Structure 1
Amino acid sequence: MAKVCEYYFAPQSPWSYFGHERLLALAKQYDVQIDMKPVDLAKIFSVSGGLPLAKRPPQRQAYRLIELKRWSEYLDLPLHPQPQFFPVSGDPAAKLIIATKFAHGTDAALALTSAVMRALWAEEKNIMDTETLIGLANAAGHDGAALLKSSETTAVQNEYEQFTNDAMAASVFGAPWYVVDGVAFWGQDRLDFVERAFQSA
């Protein structure tokens, strides 16, 4: 039976973007199943002491920009540290990802997640914009308009809320967050430890 990695993330998180493709590669390498759970990061912050970017002290905001540039160069991943459409709510994109999972499965949803994150951080697109989301889904080979309509259903909203509740119950306080065999790892810079957990089958 394949090992499972619970993957809590927010599509608008640059750190989720930095870790996403690397997690997928590791999961493929070690035959690990990803249980993807996009979450409402604002709600998680509200109960865990986290602050939205605009409310963080200036020194923290300044260092964040240094780290974004550092990691972008280190991973050779294109990223605009201050993209045009940020801060932005991840809710519409997260629900589109969940609708894609319902309709086409986890692999398709993970691929769309890649496209959404790249659109925001590398291409400076507005991931709250309806036409942008439809276009990303269409480019991934899906019926974007149909998926967007599905993303507005009660079933998808309930799933999104459940994932967020799961995260809070698991003491998640940031994104990305990985859980392997009941052990939690916070941040894309912990993927070396996640890999070790994958190896210990």
Structure 2
Amino acid sequence: MAKICEYYFAPQSPWAYFGHARLIALAKQYDVQIDMKPIDLPKLFSVSGGLPLAKRPPQRQAYRLVELKRWSAHLGLPLNLQPKFSPASGDAASKLIIATKFAHGTDAALELTSAIMHAFWAEDKNIMDADTLAGLASAAGHDGAALVKASETTSVQNEYEQFTNDAMAASVFGAPWYIVDGEAFWGQDRLDFVERAFQK
């Protein structure tokens, strides 16, 4: 039986963007199933002591930019340090990802997540806009308009809330967050340790 990696993330997180493709590659390499759970990150922050970017002290905000630039260069991933539509809510994008998972499975949802993250962080697109999201889903080979409509249903909203509640119950306080065999790993810079967990 394949291992399972619980993957808590928010599509508007640059750190999730940096780790997303590498997690998928590692999961394929070690035959691990990804249980993807997009979450309401601001809601999580509100109960775990985290602060939205605008409320963080200036020195923390400044160092964040240094680290973003450093990781972008290290991974060879394009990144706008200050996206046009930031700060962005991840709600609409997260619910589209969930609707895609319902309709087309995890692999399709992971692929669309990649496109959404790239659109926001590398192409300055507005991932809070329904037409933009529909276009990204259509470009991925789906009926974008239908998926956006499905993303607005109660069942998808309930799943989104459940994933966020799952995160709280698991003591998650940031994104991305990975859980393998009950062991938690916070941040894309912990993927080396996630890989070791996959190998056990």
Normalised by the shorter chain, which TM-score bucket? over 0.9
Residue 197 (1) aligns with residue 197 (2): yes
Q: Name the residue aligned to 1:141.
A: 141
Tell me how far apart the structure 2 counterparts of residues 87 and 21 of structure 1 sit (CA, whole Å): 23
Tell me how far apart the structure 2 counterparts of residues 148 and 34 of structure 1 sit (CA, whole Å): 23
For 2:82, what is the secondary structure of its paired residue? coil
Structure 2 counterparts to residues 1-201 of structure 1, below 5 A: 1-200=1-200
Segments of 5+ residues of structure 1 without an aligned counterpart are none
What is the CA distance between 1:35 and its match in structure 2?
0.2
What TM-score, normalized by structure 1, do the two folds share? 0.99
Specify the code of the residue in structure 1 equivalent to 2:16. S
Specify the code of the residue in structure 1 equivalent to 2:112. L
Tell me how far apart the structure 2 counterparts of residues 171 and 3 of structure 1 sit (CA, whole Å): 21
The alignment's C-alpha RMSD in Å is 0.3
Tell me how far apart the structure 2 counterparts of residues 39 and 128 of structure 1 sit (CA, whole Å): 15
Tell me how far apart the structure 1 counterparts of residues 91 and 144 of structure 2 sit (CA, whole Å): 16
Cα deviation, 1:134-157, whole Å, max 9, x if unaligned, reads 000000000000000000000000
What is the CA distance between 1:130 and its match in structure 2?
1.1
Total equivalences in the alignment: 200
Specify the code of the residue in structure 1 equivalent to 2:15. W
Cα deviation, 1:61-114, whole Å, max 9, x if unaligned, reads 000000000000000000011011111000000000000000000000000000
For 1:122, what is the secondary structure of its paired residue? helix
Specify the code of the residue in structure 1 equivalent to 2:58. P
What is the CA distance between 1:10 and its match in structure 2?
0.2
Tell me how far apart the structure 2 counterparts of residues 19 and 81 of structure 1 sit (CA, whole Å): 17
Tell me how far apart the structure 1 counterparts of residues 83 and 72 of structure 2 sit (CA, whole Å): 14
Segments of 5+ residues of structure 2 without an aligned counterpart are none
What is the CA distance between 1:12 and its match in structure 2?
0.3
What TM-score, normalized by structure 2, do the two folds share? 1.00
What is the CA distance between 1:47 and its match in structure 2?
0.1
Specify the code of the residue in structure 2 equivalent to 1:111. E
For 1:8, what is the secondary structure of its paired residue? strand
Tell me how far apart the structure 1 counterparts of residues 14 and 154 of structure 2 sit (CA, whole Å): 28
What is the CA distance between 1:34 and its match in structure 2?
0.2
